[in-house]
Structure 1
Amino acid sequence: MMRGPLRCILPMLVAFALAACSALPYQGSGFRAGHVQVRKGETLYSIAWRYDLDYHQLARWNGLTPPYTLTPGQWIRMNPPGPGQTPTRMADHRPSRPVAPTATAGVARPYHASPPPQARPLDRSPGSDNGSTARVQWVWPTRGRLLQPYSKTDQGVEIAGKLGQPVVAAASGQVVYSGNGLPSYGNLVIIKHNGRYLSAYGHNQKLLVREGDVVKRGQTIALMGESGTGVTRPMLFFEIRVDGDPVNPIPYLPARAN
């Protein structure tokens, strides 16, 4: 049984620990508490990708408008402003006051432990766009055997191939990230196809496009490699996200013989 003095001190210790977690580094998929600092080479899209967020939400929370320009050293809010707070762009320094911690501050939550808020139900059928943009037409991003099927844990598929073989854009769009700032993905390309759809291509040997490039469906954007954490053979990691949420890409892709 907890004795009197300890019973009084313990709540204070818990409160102190939560306050100390108000500006924590990345701790895993779905981390939401506090702020993160923009590193060199990062974009709004890559940060949203890292934390399993919709870039639209992240932009709103931080008062950002297109083209969502960020600068190294800038702090980004990773959760919605509190009641009565107005989303504003943060200064390029650490927040001077601790952010009110959430119930899960400092805890690395599994993906979708708490679904992100949505203003209305969304049609998640392949190629659907709720009438907001043109229908997306997809092709396979490379040739090869499917190594790893989709799961909520892996959030994408792995396709085996040969070192240096072409990786193509699965649909037309604009490159919003091209770099290696997310170590687990290695050399990564992220393409924005419209206001709802993004696709990602990881573990590449060489990237052939830059941020801002407009690419066509089937255009070569990278060469297959084995970059990234724990990768031991040439492969492509391919992922599609709809409104920030990973989806099984297979139903979106055309049937193929292999």
Structure 2
Amino acid sequence: MKGAYGWCVLFCCLLLTACSGRKAPAPVAELYQGKTFRDVQKSSYNSQIYTVEKGDTLFSISWKSGQDYRDIARFNNIRPPYNIFPGQRLTLKKQSRSIIKKSNNGTGLSSKSKSNQVVDPPKKQAYGESNATVKKEVITSSSSEFPNKITAWLWPTKNTVSRGFSNTEHGNKGLDFNGTLGSPILATAAGKVVYTGDALRGYGKLVIVKHSDSFLSAYAHNDSILVKEQQWVRAGQKIATMGKSGSDTVKLHFEVRYKGQSVDPLRYLPKR
């Protein structure tokens, strides 16, 4: 008995040591809603229909799928404050009426028993605008205005890269740039601003620009944001200033996403 007790104590000590051993902050990919990059890779964000899981929000789904949250709301007849539920089936891409009816049945719910499990609670200014303004834009938003091809990519800042892209599970899903407070941040390509705000944990003040039906770019940890949602911007336009929101140092975290998946921005940016 004493031997078994000793082994039990040793096991508990080792477990506590392992849990306390990680001192570095968690990477951005696993900060939001407790999901890791591997969880995201396994999810069906690239399909036309997505089943809502516990911890999802309409914005997190739009970010991972590479879609504008207004479009997803419009496709599924979701109104502010954008409540969604576990088990709800959402149309992520525009489909024919027959497919939408078959997948959503007019409600977007898979069963009545889950209708009271809200996972996307209202958050004041979570999307950077009032509900009244967003409600109007949900009706008028359209993805048909985007070009099929991006003609030019520009660097989002003149500063040098301090941390590169990594496709490993806990790797950096973009490029990090060190800089000084207030340094200009530029749109990497022409497009429409689809999000401004700080609702995505780990990114601080964030700007997301949609360039085509496939490409998004994101600019995180800003000090000030100089553009508004639904505003069209040109390549090289100043859209924000560098800061340390959601970070302990002044920097820009820059991401490019293709069909919802993180890709190395150096594949598209011109050589310096």
**What TM-score comes out, normalization by structure 2 length?**
0.58
Residue 80 of structure 1 and its aligned partner are, at CA, apart by 5.4
Q: Distance in 1 between matches of 2:105 and 2:173?
A: 31
Residue 47 of structure 1 and its aligned partner are, at CA, apart by 3.7
State yes or no: 1:235 paired with 2:251. Answer: yes
Residue 62 of structure 2 corresponds to which residue in structure 1?
48
Residue 198 of structure 1 corresponds to which residue in structure 2?
216
Q: Deviation string for 1:15-48 (max 9, x for gaps)?
A: xxxxxxxxxx93314355635575xxxxx55542
Residue 267 of structure 2 corresponds to which residue in structure 1?
251
Residue 74 of structure 1 and its aligned partner are, at CA, apart by 1.6
Residue 80 of structure 2 corresponds to which residue in structure 1?
71
Name which of 26, 29, 34 aligns with 1:27: 34
Q: Distance in 2 between matches of 1:190 and 1:78?
A: 27
Alignment check: 8 A CA contact 1:150 1:157 kept = yes
Alignment check: 8 A CA contact 2:66 2:215 kept = no
Distance 1:63 1:208, change over 3 A: closer
Alignment check: 8 A CA contact 2:73 2:79 kept = no
Residue 232 of structure 1 and its aligned partner are, at CA, apart by 2.1
Residue 59 of structure 1 and its aligned partner are, at CA, apart by 8.8
Q: Distance in 1 between matches of 2:150 and 2:200?
A: 29
Alignment check: 8 A CA contact 2:194 2:210 kept = yes
Q: Distance in 2 between matches of 1:195 and 1:89?
A: 25
The one-letter code matched in structure 2 to 1:251 is R
Structure 2: 5+ residue stretches without partners: 1-31, 44-51, 91-100, 116-146
Q: Distance in 2 between matches of 1:144 and 1:174?
A: 24
The one-letter code matched in structure 1 to 2:103 is T
Structure 1: 5+ residue stretches without partners: 1-24, 39-43, 100-131
Residue 195 of structure 2 corresponds to which residue in structure 1?
177
Q: Distance in 1 between matches of 2:209 and 2:85?
A: 22
Q: Distance in 1 between matches of 2:221 and 2:186?
A: 14
Q: Distance in 2 between matches of 1:176 and 1:95?
A: 31
Residue 166 of structure 1 and its aligned partner are, at CA, apart by 0.3
Aligned residues between the structures: 185
Residue 255 of structure 1 and its aligned partner are, at CA, apart by 1.0
Runs of 4+ in 1 over 6 A off after TM superposition: none
Q: Deviation string for 1:97-151 (max 9, x for gaps)?
A: 249xxxxxxxxxxxxxxxxxxxxxxxxxxxxxxxx71334100001112111001
Residue 76 of structure 1 and its aligned partner are, at CA, apart by 5.4
Q: Percent identity?
A: 32
Residue 4 of structure 1 corresponds to which residue in structure 2?
none
RMSD: 3.5
State yes or no: 1:160 paired with 2:178. Answer: yes
Residue 94 of structure 1 and its aligned partner are, at CA, apart by 11
Q: Which structure is higher in helix share?
A: 2
Q: Deviation string for 1:162-219 (max 9, x for gaps)?
A: 1101001000000000001112000000000011110000010011111011000000
Distance 1:247 1:79, change over 3 A: farther
Matches within 5 A, 1:198-237: 198-228=216-246, 231-237=247-253
Q: Distance in 2 between matches of 1:221 and 1:181?
A: 18
Residue 86 of structure 1 corresponds to which residue in structure 2?
103
Q: Distance in 1 between matches of 2:111 and 2:243?
A: 39
